[in-house]
Amino acid sequence: MATLYNVPTNENEMNIFSFNNYAEHVKIASAIFAQYGITVPIYPLDPIPLSDMGDWLLQHQNLHNIMNELLGTNSDDLTDVNFKDPQQLAQWIWLHAQEHYQAADVLQLT
């Protein structure tokens, strides 16, 4: 999960983030099913389609909304970001990683 805190600065780093983000969503969904018997959908989050992120951002936000509602964790709007703006990206990465950290903590995955 530590890689979710790294701010990507190039395409390779974005691909690493994308893969790890997807893997963490699968891990969280599996733990929710094992602990609560609830199936969380898994959308095709990897790779991130940087040329057309609209659907990706909405699907990704939907997963976070489900996760946060089930676990009672903090929820942020992760749909409002310009990945080409380094400051916005850095803030988004932090908020996003914090949500994963909180979920992992509740599910005792840490």
User: pLDDT by residue (tens digit) across 66-93?
Assistant: 999 999 999 999 999 999 999 999 999 9
30 pLDDT band, cuts 50/70/90, is: very high
Q: What is the pLDDT of residue 56?
A: 96
Interatomic CA distance for residues 45 and 47, integer angstroms: 6
Please, which pLDDT band fits residue 50 given cuts at 50, 70 and 90? Answer: confident
Q: What is the pLDDT of residue 13?
A: 96
| Residue 110 predicted with pLDDT over 80 | no
12 burial type by CB count under 10 A (0-12 exposed, 13-18 middle, 19+ buried): exposed
Reported as a pLDDT band with limits 50, 70 and 90, residue 60 is very high
* Cβ-contact 81, 92 below 8 angstroms: yes
Confidence of residue 51 (pLDDT cuts 50, 70, 90): confident
Given a contact cutoff of 8 angstroms between Cβ atoms, the answer to whether 43 and 59 are in contact is yes
User: In angstroms, what is the C-alpha Rg of the chain?
Assistant: 13
Q: What residues have CB less than 8 Å from 9, skipping those under 6 apart?
A: 86
Q: Measuring CA to CA, which residue among 5, 26, 3 is closest to residue 95?
A: 5
Angle of CA points 16, 92, 47, to nearest 5°: 30
For residues 93 and 104, give the distance between their C-alpha atoms in angstroms, rounded to a whole number.
16
User: Tokens representing 7?
Assistant: 């701010």
